[in-house]
Amino acid sequence: MKKYAVIMAGGVGSRFWPRSREKSPKQLLQIVGDSSMISQTVARLEEVTEKENIFIVTNRLQREEIQKQLPGIPHDNIIEEPFGRNTAPCIGLAALFVEKKDKDGVMIVLPADHLIPDKEVFSETLNLGAEYANEVKGLVTIGIPPTRPETGYGYIQIDERKVKENLFKVYTFAEKPNLTTAERFIESGDFLWNSGMFIWRADTILTEMQKLMPELYFDLMNLKPHLSTEKFSSGLQTMYGKIRSISIDYGIMEKSNKVYLIKGKFSWSDVGSWEEVYHLSDKDENGNAVTGDVYLEGTNNSYIYNPGKFTALLGVQDLLVINTPDALLVCKRSMSQDVKKIVDHLKINKKIEYL
Amino acid sequence: MKKYAVIMAGGVGSRFWPRSREKSPKQLLQIVGDSSMISQTVARLEEVTEKENIFIVTNRLQREEIQKQLPGIPHDNIIEEPFGRNTAPCIGLAALFVEKKDKDGVMIVLPADHLIPDKEVFSETLNLGAEYANEVKGLVTIGIPPTRPETGYGYIQIDERKVKENLFKVYTFAEKPNLTTAERFIESGDFLWNSGMFIWRADTILTEMQKLMPELYFDLMNLKPHLSTEKFSSGLQTMYGKIRSISIDYGIMEKSNKVYLIKGKFSWSDVGSWEEVYHLSDKDENGNAVTGDVYLEGTNNSYIYNPGKFTALLGVQDLLVINTPDALLVCKRSMSQDVKKIVDHLKINKKIEYL
């Protein structure tokens, strides 16, 4: 059994404006850790599979930068979507590539922009998950044992009776809860964070799509003969022009009866906002996390990013200050989820130079 | 009787960092109003004297930009101090230039960086003050009738019995008071704000210097024969190397018995801090004063300067945000007096590129 990784790298990460832009989205930035999010994601797969078995699904705008950041990935493994249609079409498309290369291939589907410092436990989890996925011919999702009643993540409820060591059947998927519900989830003990990472054989996910998303499956089968031909690009364009935007969770996971869960016992963050980045960063004795040369007075619990320039903060509390060559963000930490509204504003007002 | 203006333009304005730098200090910046502070100062003198009778005292670093901003001022009227030694030497030096040009000349001494929107009343005040200074051979200072118990200004107490219409003898000069004292000053009714603007005959101030600052006078008389010769620059360098740094208020005004006051019944500000600039600026309905393209949400009573770039502020109150190509300031409005501490920090740490 051979393992293939599929890294989904099409997003923009609008909550990371002004650093994230269409051409330099979150996954291509060094936001936490010592290299870009996608570089860390690829480096984490060293004990899982070889670089020639890693596929990246992205778009035209990001391709060049991805090739630059990931020199070991074969160019043919970089799959360009004409535009984003959420995770289900992205995964279906990648399944065609994996199946063509290896009809028994197991694919490990990973977001490009998560933080997982513990490479060893992570690798062990993926390797075990791949064995199980091949064996039970099921859809294996990775659930993270929760450490707090987080309202920013989706949850997965499992049947606690083990199918195998660290393999469980899934009862339900739950959307991002409010705080009371999240606390109840934590107390119950059988809810895990939905990490958005999946492991399955390519033929298993395609068979499930045939059952649960027949229109998408039909389009994928029409496209299949054109893989690696010059008709592929225009065929994909036509297909994406008519398919619905739908997530794999909604389209498959919540409906399939073949869903399993393996617990990922490693620390994990989806790095969903500047507030999360603040929490993940090293801080000084006043709780300030700083990139760049600074003078701070009466300033606490703030995140400052202004590399190569000088920043002075006086009398400032709980603030995010992110400066880029053409745009500056100053945001109360508690409002970091609203950063995406700025991107909406820029789109509506056609200020494309800042997108 | 001919009038000469002497504009003191040697300061740095460290409270306006990061906009004010050694090469572009406060008086050369457009901070409030529609041109630089010094351009406004010169434009305000249109009804007072001709441009060939305006002297600017500055330093080498600022000379080029001053010539650029004030094309009508003869280059010979720009006097370069080797370095700053406060106002007394600066005024003594300028007095030599005025006296050489016109032994009966009246000199009007003005800071380069004040805001006085009412040009008409201002001109009338200077013209009347110049007549009085010539007539009584006294040191005439301009006092501003106070409108609030400001603790950021010095005060002047007068004898309310008029010497002439709008001319008063001065009792005392008072340093910047605390709030209780300032309130007492306002109640008493005979205290005015010290504007730092003076009017006197060149020979009057030199005679008073002979009496009250004999060492400075001695040095000035040694320098006098070298005016307009090639020895002037080195002579001035030698003189400034040994003289004391001392203000005209401390050296002359507080000690002389020839001090008069004329009330300046125009609105006036010394524009002493970013907080003051905030108060002087046009604001939107949420109390925000903005230069540049912005997106504001939950943001009130803040001052934002980031021209040519995009700024987003979320959940921010009472903040000063000033961004320049190489340095950014984010400061609680109530701490705007502490901005000069940043400049001290930069000097101590030899970060000269930000000075």
Mutating which of A21, A297, A328, A343 best tests the B interface, going by the most B Cβ atoms within 10 A?
Answer: A328
The span from the CA of A233 to the CA of A339, in Å, is: 34
Ramachandran sector of residue A146 (left: φ over 0; alpha: ψ -120 to 50; beta: rest): beta
CA distances from A276 to A15, A324, B329 (A): 11, 20, 24
Q: Is residue A32 part of a domain?
A: yes
The beta-carbon neighbor of B327 closest among A17, A309, A335 is: A309
Give domain status of residue A217, yes or no: yes
In whole angstroms, give the CA distance from residue B99 to residue B206: 9
CA distance B279 to chain A (A): 19
Q: Chain B contacts of A18, Cβ < 8 Å?
A: 310, 312
What is the complex's ipTM, to 2 decimals?
Answer: 0.89
A interface with B, Cβ–Cβ < 8 A, is 17-18, 293, 295, 297-298, 306, 309-316, 319, 321, 323, 326-332, 334-335, 338-339, 341-342, 345-346, 351, 354
* Summary count for chain A: helices (H), strands (E): 11, 13
A177-191 per-position pLDDT tens digit: 999 999 999 999 999
Q: Tell me if B331 and A339 make a contact (CB, 8 A cut-off).
A: no
Do A259 and A345 lie in a common domain?
no
Residues in chain B within 8 Å Cβ distance of A316: 319, 330-332
Give contacts of B316 with chain A, Cβ < 8 Å.
Answer: 319, 330-332
pLDDT at residue number B12: 81
Cβ separation of A328 and B342 shorter than 8 Å? no
> How many Å apart are CA A191 and CA A210, to the nearest integer?
29
Same domain, B141 and B287: no
pLDDT of A167 above 90 = yes
Looking at beta carbons, which residues of chain A come within 8 Å of B331? 312-316
User: How do residues A230-281 score in pLDDT, each as one tens digit?
Assistant: 999 999 999 999 999 999 999 999 999 999 999 999 999 999 999 999 999 9
Compute the residue count for chain B. Answer: 355
What is the total count of domains within chain B?
A: 2
Minimal Cβ distance to B310: which of A306, A334, A351:
A351
Number of cross-chain residue pairs from A and B with Cβ atoms under 8 Å apart: 117
CB contact burial B148-163 (16+ within 10 A = b; e otherwise): ebbeebbbbbbeeeeb
In the chain, the amino acid numbered B223 is L
- How far apart CA A170 and CA B232 sit, in angstroms, is 92
Of A12, A6, A17, nearest to A339 by C-alpha is A17
Looking at the fold, whether A58 and A144 belong to one and the same domain comes out as: yes
Same domain, B39 and B188: yes
Quick check: A328 and B338 CB within 8 A?
no
Going by pLDDT thresholds of 50, 70 and 90, the confidence category of residue A68 is: very high
pLDDT value, residue A13: 81
CA distance A193 to chain B (A): 29
Contact B329 A312 (CB under 8 A): yes
Give dist(CA A213, CA A90) in Å, integer.
Answer: 13
Rounded mean pLDDT for each run of 10 residues along chain B, 355 residues in total = 96 91 93 95 98 96 95 96 95 98 97 96 98 98 96 94 96 95 95 97 98 97 94 95 94 96 96 95 97 97 98 98 98 96 97 96
Q: Look at A312 and B321 and tell me if their CB atoms are within 8 Å.
A: no
Enclosing H/E stretch for A123: helix A119-136
- Claim to verify: residue B127 and residue B245 sit in the same structural domain: yes
Model pLDDT for residues B250-289, shown as the tens digit of each residue? 999 999 999 999 999 999 999 999 999 999 999 999 999 9
User: Which of A263, A296, A320 is the C-terminal boundary of a domain?
Assistant: A263
> What residues in B contact A330, CB-CB < 8 Å?
311-314, 316, 319, 321, 330
User: Which residue range is the domain that position A217 belongs to?
Assistant: 3-263
Q: Is residue A97 part of a domain?
A: yes
Considering the domain boundaries, does residue B212 fall inside one? yes
8 Å CB contact between B182 and B151: yes
Last residue of one domain, picked from the residues B228, B263, B298: B263
Domain boundary among B205, B228, B263: B263
Residues of B in contact with A334 (CB under 8 A): 315
Cα-Cα-Cα-Cα dihedral sign, residues A66, A69, A73, A76? positive
- Which residue type sits at A149? P
* Pairs from A79-83 (Cβ < 8 Å, separation ≥ 24): A79/A55, A80/A233, A81/A10, A81/A57, A81/A236, A81/A240, A82/A236, A82/A237, A82/A240, A82/A241, A83/A59, A83/A240
Rounded to an integer, what distance in angstroms lies between the CA atom of residue B93 and that of residue B231?
Answer: 15
Does B287 lie in the same domain as B246?
Answer: no
On whether residue A269 sits in a domain, the answer given is: no
The reply to whether A245 and A281 lie within a common domain is: no
Q: Which residue is listed with tokens 């907080």?
A: B275
Phi, psi for residue A245 in degrees, rounded to 5 = -85, 115
How confident is the prediction for chain A on average, in pLDDT? Answer: 96
Contact call for residues A328 and B325 (beta carbons, < 8 A)? no
Angstrom distance (rounded) from CA A154 to CA A167: 19
Task: Report whether pLDDT(A10) > 90.
Answer: no
